[in-house]
């Protein structure tokens, strides 16, 4: 590659060449996930921030110079990224905040943030000449991989997913033509099985966290946020957290921009977990290091953020601790309530894990982690159609009437008079 890059373990700091290690630090094991770091002085000298604004590319490859992909490498045809960023004054008013933006990654091709990681991982597999790419997932990461892989000829996708994953997400995998292995156990078990078979078969594994290219793909949202806000960053970014790779990617993107001098500071980052799957919340509160965390129960309606032992836990804790942020937990009831609340205030329909960011922002304001004068961005990670059954749980109503105008008028009048 023409760029100067290396891998660095987040625990011991040992450095490796990109071709030396594929997944995690050999000395620190699975917890020793790797950062991909650059020669930032060389990037400052060679990449013009303002020129990016004139790019015709409206996807993650707008920032190819800042990604660990060779400039000449071909990329999948599916266009990922450059999702809308909305000013949301009614959301801000409901939270008692000066300003709130919504970054809607449900608008990606497979309707989730995880397309960002997949498009970079698949491009890396193409560079390596590997034709089979695998992943374990509760649904979104798998769909992202399957969708991106379907846009590239002569490549095979093998997915390990808990049999309890939402039917819509499993159907999406099958529609894209992936080979789907339904594991009658938890996501964590599916993850370990996928990793073991991938190593034996020499497949390229996309698994969250352990593949350092996932973080680099996910950092692209931070680059977009900064550019969409005129190369400023919000005071606070709120995002839901499961395995920890999205929050890690957001941190890495803002950190890279700060190293380049393209922004003048880092935002505080607040991670949101479901109460039934809150290992990182507990570790943050107790001051536990990521490598010392132990498996914890993981049961929540927000399947996308259900993880007993988050795989990118060291980076995920770093993202909050290094930015003076916080972790908060929300109940399943609060998550369900947030789906229609957010939709009615903004027009954005979010799946449970995505709506958790709004529920978490409410808790963070009440807890004093976010102050009224601050500008806050909610990172919305997936579309509500991903899990329509949960949306149905969150709402009720509808006027069932015979086809009679007089009755319809009276029913509407009663509904309006008695909301």
Up-side HSE of residue 79: CA atoms within 13 Å toward CB? 8
Name all domains of the chain by residue range, CATH numbers in brackets: 85-110+214-394 (3.40.50.1100)
What is the torsion angle, in degrees rounded to the nearest 10, for the CA atoms of residue 272, residue 277, residue 281 and residue 286? 180
Give the pair of three-digit tokens for residue 172. 């999406």
Question: 159, 146 in Cβ contact below 8 A?
Answer: yes
What pLDDT is attached to residue 94?
A: 98
Residues 222, 227, 229, 232, CA torsion sign: positive
What pLDDT is attached to residue 24?
A: 97
Up-side HSE of residue 173: CA atoms within 13 Å toward CB? 29
Nearest CA to 88 out of 325, 378, 300 is that of 378
Q: How far apart are the first and last CA of the chain?
A: 62
What pLDDT is attached to residue 416?
A: 65
Element (H, E) at 251: helix 245-260
What pLDDT is attached to residue 139?
A: 78
Question: 41, 56 in Cβ contact below 8 A?
Answer: no
What pLDDT is attached to residue 418?
A: 47
What pLDDT is attached to residue 417?
A: 57
Report how far residue 260's alpha carbon sits from residue 234's, in angstroms, rounded to the nearest whole number.
Answer: 18
Sequence-distant (6+) residues with CB within 8 A of 402 are none
Report how far residue 331's alpha carbon sits from residue 336's, in angstroms, rounded to the nearest whole number.
Answer: 9
DSSP 64: G
Query: Mean pLDDT, 10 residues at a time, over the chain (419 residues)?
Result: 86 96 96 97 94 94 97 96 98 98 98 97 97 90 94 95 86 93 91 94 93 97 98 98 97 98 97 97 98 94 92 97 98 97 98 97 98 98 91 86 92 70
Task: Tell me whether residue 84 is exposed, middle or buried, using C-beta atoms within 10 angstroms of its C-beta: 0 to 12, 13 to 18, 19 or more.
Answer: middle
Q: Would you say how long the chain is, in residues?
A: 419
The alpha carbon of 135 is separated from its chain's Cα centroid by a whole number of angstroms, namely 15
What pLDDT is attached to residue 286?
A: 98
Report how far residue 227's alpha carbon sits from residue 58's, in angstroms, rounded to the nearest whole number.
Answer: 12
The alpha carbon of 54 is separated from its chain's Cα centroid by a whole number of angstroms, namely 27
Q: What share of the chain is helix, strand, coil (3-state, %, to 5)?
A: 45, 15, 40
What HEC string does 215-273 produce? HHHHCHHHHHHHHHCCCCCCCEEEEECCCCHHHHHHHHHHHHHHHHCCCCCCCEEEEEE
Report how far residue 201's alpha carbon sits from residue 130's, in angstroms, rounded to the nearest whole number.
Answer: 11
């Amino acid at each position: 590659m023409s760029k100067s890059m290396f891998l660095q373990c987040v625990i011991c700091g040992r450095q490796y060449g990109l071709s030396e290690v594929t997944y995690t630090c050999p000395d620190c094991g699975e917890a020793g996930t790797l950062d991909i770091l650059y020669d930032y002085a060389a990037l400052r000298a060679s990449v013009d921030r303002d020129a990016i604004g004139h790019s015709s590319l409206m996807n993650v490859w707008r920032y190819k110079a800042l990604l660990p992909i060779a400039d000449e490498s071909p990329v999948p045809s599916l266009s990922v990224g450059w999702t809308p960023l909305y000013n949301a004054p009614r959301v801000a008013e409901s939270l008692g905040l000066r300003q709130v933006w919504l970054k809607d990654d449900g608008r990606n091709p497979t309707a989730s943030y995880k397309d960002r990681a997949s498009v970079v991982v698949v491009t890396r597999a193409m560079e390596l000449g590997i034709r089979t790419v695998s992943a374990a997932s509760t649904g979104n990461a798998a769909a992202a991989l399957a969708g991106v892989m379907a846009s590239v000829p002569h490549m095979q996708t093998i997915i390990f997913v808990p049999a309890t994953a939402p039917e819509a997400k499993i159907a999406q995998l099958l529609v894209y033509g992936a080979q789907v292995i339904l594991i009658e156990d938890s996501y964590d078990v599916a993850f370990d099985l996928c990793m073991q078979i991938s190593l034996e078969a020499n497949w390229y594994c996309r698994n969250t966290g352990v593949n350092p290219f996932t973080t680099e793909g996910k950092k692209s949202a931070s680059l977009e946020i900064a550019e969409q806000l005129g190369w400023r960053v919000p005071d606070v970014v709120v995002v839901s957290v499961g395995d920890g790779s999205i929050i890690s990617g957001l941190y890495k993107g803002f950190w890279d921009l700060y190293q380049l001098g393209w922004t003048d500071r880092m935002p505080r980052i607040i991670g949101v977990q479901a109460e039934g799957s809150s290992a990182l919340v507990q570790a943050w509160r107790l001051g536990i290091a990521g490598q010392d965390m132990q498996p914890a129960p993981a049961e929540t309606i927000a399947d996308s953020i259900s993880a007993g032992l988050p795989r990118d836990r060291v980076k995920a804790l770093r993202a909050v601790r290094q930015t003076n942020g916080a972790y908060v937990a929300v109940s399943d009831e609060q998550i369900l309530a947030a789906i229609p609340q957010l939709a009615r205030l903004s027009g954005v329909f979010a799946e449970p894990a995505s709506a958790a960011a709004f529920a978490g922002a409410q808790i963070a304001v009440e807890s004093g982690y976010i102050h009224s004068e601050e500008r806050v961005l909610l990172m919305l990670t997936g579309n509500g159609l991903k899990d329509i059954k949960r949306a149905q749980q969150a709402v009720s109503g509808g006027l069932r009437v015979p086809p009679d105008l007089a009755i319809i008028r009276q029913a509407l009048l009663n509904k309006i008079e008695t909301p």
